[in-house]
Amino acid sequence: MRLLGYLGQWRSVAKEAMDLSVTVAKFMGLLHITDAYLCSSTLVRHSSNPITPSLSQFPYSKCAVVYGPSMLPTLNISGDVLLSEHVSHRIGKVGPGDLVLVRSPTDPRKIVTKRVLGMQGDKVTYFVDPKHSDRLHTTVVPKGHVWIQGDNIYSSFDSRTYGPIPYGLIQGKVFCRMIDTRSEKP
Please give the pLDDT value at position 21.
Answer: 93
Tell me whether residue 114 is one of the annotated catalytic residues.
Answer: yes
**Confidence band for 181, pLDDT divided at 50, 70 and 90:** low
Q: Residue 116: is its pLDDT beyond 90? A: yes
Q: Residue 63: is its pLDDT beyond 50? A: no
Domains in the chain, CATH or no CATH each = 36-177 (2.10.109.10)
Please give the pLDDT value at position 42.
Answer: 66
Question: From the candidates 70, 104, 156, 159, which is the catalytic residue?
Answer: 70
- For 68, 156, 167, the CA distances from 90, given in Å and listed in that order, are 28, 26, 10
Contact 113, 55 (CB under 8 A): yes
Q: Residue 118: is its pLDDT beyond 60? A: yes
pLDDT higher for 176 or 169?
Answer: 169
Question: From the candidates 40, 114, 156, 173, which is the catalytic residue?
Answer: 114
Please give the pLDDT value at position 46.
Answer: 41
Q: Are strands 80-85 and 170-178 parallel, antiparallel or unpaired?
A: antiparallel
Q: Residue 60: is its pLDDT beyond 60? A: no
Closest CA to 112 of 82, 144, 77: 82
Q: What is the mean pLDDT of residues 108-123?
A: 93
Tell me whether residue 15 is one of the annotated catalytic residues.
Answer: no
